[in-house]
């Protein structure tokens, strides 16, 4: 019985790629240095899977930024503004597309389906010229082969690539991206020919858009594409991989009728109904089924007995020699290796499996199906499953009762937003087009050192770290950093300030550390985009807030200024979506528990004199189910959870929220239904796509701050550029509701970038204020 891994984490167990990328971007190391780190990581990954007994090992899933950008490079689909003149695409052009440079902005970045991973959105049009411009796929295949590992090269499928693209600037929004199919397929044919010549016998096309609600025209594109590729694919075994949801019946029918395809990969974790489809609709004779029974998006140990039962039922349909045990999706969405977790509670650790352990689980299931079941391994797994179900630390009856009592109320504030804004303005006395930032400020090396050593002191009671920094020294250092950030904002003349979040490494991790029901890893890093890694907390049990979490720091910051200081919180939906969530109860129940915990914090902030409280819901759109039929239920409980957090505050307390890097236009009415007083929202990197919804007649009565510049690029926008963006916003939004702010938080940037960018932002706001005043 064979085994397969869809993809694997690429940052490395100690985030080696992250540090190599940042060193290269800072000019501290060479391209050769970066390539050496990448080569060593790939070799380690391939060897690990080969040693574990995996038969179908992927290659070309490693990326310096993201796999969609890699495909853009392969196709030579470089926007004109990057002045690429042809040939093999190098780091300069590649990273300019991803991050921008001193003269041109980056391409749009958005979420990869409903994950916290991001991809760079291709910009295409009728005049886009395609050419085979990156041989990365074949180079990595040869690299693995030289190490004695025969891999399955992975490409983003041609139809999904086009469906995930957008019309380039200046191209009609109605332009059919699928009309470019005949233009990109010749490049795919060249890549396929090179892979065949190099000795590849299998090729994997990731076509995740097959799980979406596709119309007949879009489904026809899959048939057309793989029919056109049929002769090029002759002699190869072809796997089309899908993931993240059930595959609809019509898509299943289309996929399984493709003559050029040998095997189909299905996510049987988030796509459990696909199992019923395979059983009821039948499975093509002689084809392979790659069964994704091991969860690639969570960190819970697989229930091996249940998975084995599922596989045995499929074996009866597909045939023993045509069933392949696989992960539900790429393992890049989970942490790398549990062996690195030396401080994690032993009981909780026994319930978990990271990427390295999931590889072992996949192979153990394959061996069990082949009659070589490791009885001891399965018995240990069953004991861990039983331990988790019966552990008293998972359940808190008081929390469950409080969450159950939420039913029957929509938890809206008593006064409408217009009246609240009037009351808030009387108290805050803000100018027209008030300026603010989203929350975080740059995190310096020294600040990270202070925080790291203080944490080490808490974790290791008898180590060399203990004497390095005391509680008093830590508090003093953080206060000093807050004071610096406050002073900078006052000098820049920003209207509503933030404290810069110097006490926080991550907006979710910080809160999870102070909530019950959460566990934390030391090295459970997951890539979010580029070199940006996050360390999602693990929600293993019922959630509550034992003590205030941010009140001390917010009050401290407010005492340093007469200007309004935001209290900064992460919302319940974002904490949920950016954590590894327990899978033993519905997600909405866990979200309601988190909402009640945040509600207590909001009320304590208000009581402490904080007049502006921001409750970030950056990931609300991210969690939207991929199928439209499931949208309403999710949005109902997600929006309700946000309202629970602030339903009890006074009219004069201004509630902000923040969202970023997703397509918000399709949920704008749910955003309005959140009933926040002010929303700041990413806008500039997506080429002001958000503004189109207001041009189409949507009326927004609360305060709103569409971002005026992209913080994920080192590029510094001019005053004139920002002023132009503000004027575009004023064309569709009322002056009295518009705020001026960056797209997102500033912690990934340097002060040498932040200060001039914010200076220009404030100057632009003042310029427009002057123009508005003179026009009266």
Question: Binding site for L-homocysteine: which residues?
Answer: 438-440, 616
Q: Give dist(CA 385, CA 396) in Å, integer.
A: 19
3-state secondary structure 206-250: ECHHHHCCCCHHHHHHHHHHHHHCHHHHCCCEEEEECCCCCCCHH
Contact 8, 332 (CB under 8 A): yes
Q: Which class for 153: exposed (0-12), middle (13-18), buried (19 or more C-beta within 10 A)?
A: buried
- Helix axis angle for 216-228 and 181-198, nearest 10°, is 40
Q: Phi/psi at 624 (nearest 5 deg)?
A: -60, 125
Handedness of CA 93, 99, 104, 109 (dihedral sign): positive
Element containing residue 34 per DSSP (H, E): helix 31-51
Active centre residues (catalytic)? 712
Helix, strand, or coil here: 325? strand
Binding site residue list for 5-methyltetrahydropteroyltri-L-glutamate: 18, 116, 532-533, 578
Residues found in the chain? 776
**Tokens coding 83:** 């002045």
Q: Give dist(CA 68, CA 93) in Å, integer.
A: 15
- Residues in Cβ contact with 225 at an 8 Å cutoff, skipping those fewer than 6 apart: 157, 158, 159, 181, 185
- Residues in Cβ contact with 518 at an 8 Å cutoff, skipping those fewer than 6 apart: 512, 537, 538, 539, 540, 543, 579
The angle at the Cα of 685, spanning 680 to 691, to the nearest 5 degrees, equals: 60
- Residues in Cβ contact with 173 at an 8 Å cutoff, skipping those fewer than 6 apart: 167
């Amino acid at each position: 019985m064979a085994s397969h891994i869809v993809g694997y984490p690429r940052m490395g167990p100690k985030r080696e790629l992250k540090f190599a990328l940042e060193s290269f971007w800072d000019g501290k190391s060479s391209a050769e240095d970066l390539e050496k780190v990448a080569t060593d990581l790939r070799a380690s990954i391939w060897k690990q899977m080969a040693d574990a007994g995996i038969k179908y090992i992927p290659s070309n899933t490693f990326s310096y930024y993201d796999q969609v950008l890699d495909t853009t490079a392969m196709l030579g689909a470089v926007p004109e503004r990057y002045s690429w003149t042809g040939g093999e695409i190098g780091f300069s052009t590649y990273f300019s597309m991803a991050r921008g440079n001193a003269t041109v902005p980056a391409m749009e970045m958005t979420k990869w389906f409903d994950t916290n991973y991001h991809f760079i959105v291709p910009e295409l049009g009728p005049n886009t010229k395609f050419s085979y411009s990156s041989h990365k796929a074949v180079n990595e295949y040869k690299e693995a082969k030289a190490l004695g590992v025969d891999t399955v090269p992975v490409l983003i499928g041609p139809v999904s690539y086009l469906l995930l693209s957008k019309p380039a600037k200046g191209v009609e929004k109605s332009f059919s991206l699928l009309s470019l199919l005949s233009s990109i397929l010749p490049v795919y044919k060249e890549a396929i020919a090179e892979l065949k010549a190099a000795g590849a016998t299998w090729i994997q096309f990731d076509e995740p858009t097959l799980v979406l609600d596709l119309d007949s025209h879009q489904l026809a594109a899959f048939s057309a594409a793989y029919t056109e590729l049929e002769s090029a694919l002759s002699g190869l075994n072809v796997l089309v991989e899908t993931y993240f949801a059930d595959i609809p019946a019509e898509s299943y029918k289309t996929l399984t009728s493709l003559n050029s395809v040998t095997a189909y990969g299905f996510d049987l974790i988030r796509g459990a109904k696909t199992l019923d489809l395979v059983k009821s609709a039948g499975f093509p004779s002689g084809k392979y089924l790659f069964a994704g029974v091991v969860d690639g998006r969570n960190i819970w140990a697989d229930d091996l007995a249940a998975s084995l039962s599922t596989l045995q039922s499929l074996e009866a349909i597909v045939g023993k020699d045509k069933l392949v045990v696989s992960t539900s999706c790429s393992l890049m969405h989970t942490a790398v290796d549990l062996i690195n977790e030396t401080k994690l509670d032993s009981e909780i650790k026994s319930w978990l499996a990271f990427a390295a352990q999931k590889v072992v689980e996949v192979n153990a299931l394959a061996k069990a199906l082949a009659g070589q079941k490791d009885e001891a391994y399965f018995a240990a797994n069953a004991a861990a499953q039983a331990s988790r179900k019966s552990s008293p630390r998972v359940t808190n009856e008081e929390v469950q009762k409080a969450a159950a009592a939420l039913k029957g109320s929509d938890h809206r504030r008593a006064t409408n937003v217009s009246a609240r804004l009037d009351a808030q303005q009387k108290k805050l006395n803000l100018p027209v087009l008030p300026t603010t930032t989203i929350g975080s400020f740059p995190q310096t090396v020294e600040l990270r050192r202070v925080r790291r050593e203080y944490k080490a002191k808490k974790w290791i009671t008898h180590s060399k770290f203990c004497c390095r920094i005391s509680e008093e020294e830590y508090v003093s250092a953080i206060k000093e950093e807050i004071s610096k950030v406050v002073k900078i904002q006052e000098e820049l003349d920003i209207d509503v300030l933030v404290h810069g979040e110097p006490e926080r490494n991550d907006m979710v991790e910080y809160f999870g550390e102070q909530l019950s029901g959460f566990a934390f890893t030391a090295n459970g890093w997951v890539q979010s985009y580029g070199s940006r890694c996050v360390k999602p907390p693990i929600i293993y049990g019922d959630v509550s807030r034992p003590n205030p979490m941010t009140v001390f720091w917010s009050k401290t910051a407010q005492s340093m200024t007469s200007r309004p200081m935001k209290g900064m919180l992460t919302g319940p939906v974002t904490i949920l979506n950016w954590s590894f969530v327990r899978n033993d109860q519905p997600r909405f129940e866990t979200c309601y528990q988190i909402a009640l915990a945040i509600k207590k914090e909001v009320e304590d902030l208000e009581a402490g004199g904080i007049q502006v409280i921001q409750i970030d819901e950056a990931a609300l759109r991210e969690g939207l189910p991929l199928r439209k039929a499931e949208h309403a239920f999710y949005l109902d409980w997600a929006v309700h959870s946000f309202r629970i957090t602030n339903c009890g505050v006074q009219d004069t307390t201004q509630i902000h929220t923040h969202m970023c890097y997703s397509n918000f236009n399709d949920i704008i009415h749910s955003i309005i239904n959140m009933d926040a007083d002010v929303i700041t929202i990413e806008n500039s990197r997506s080429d002001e796509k958000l503004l189109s919804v207001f041009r189409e007649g949507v009326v927004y009565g609360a305060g709103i701050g569409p971002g005026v510049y992209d913080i994920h690029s080192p590029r510094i926008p001019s005053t004139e550029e920002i002023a132009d963006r503000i004027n575009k916003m004023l064309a569709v939004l009322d002056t009295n509701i518009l705020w001026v702010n960056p797209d997102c938080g500033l912690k990934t940037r340097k002060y040498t970038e932040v200060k001039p960018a914010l200076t220009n932002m404030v100057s632009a706001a003042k310029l427009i204020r002057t123009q508005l005043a003179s026009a009266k």
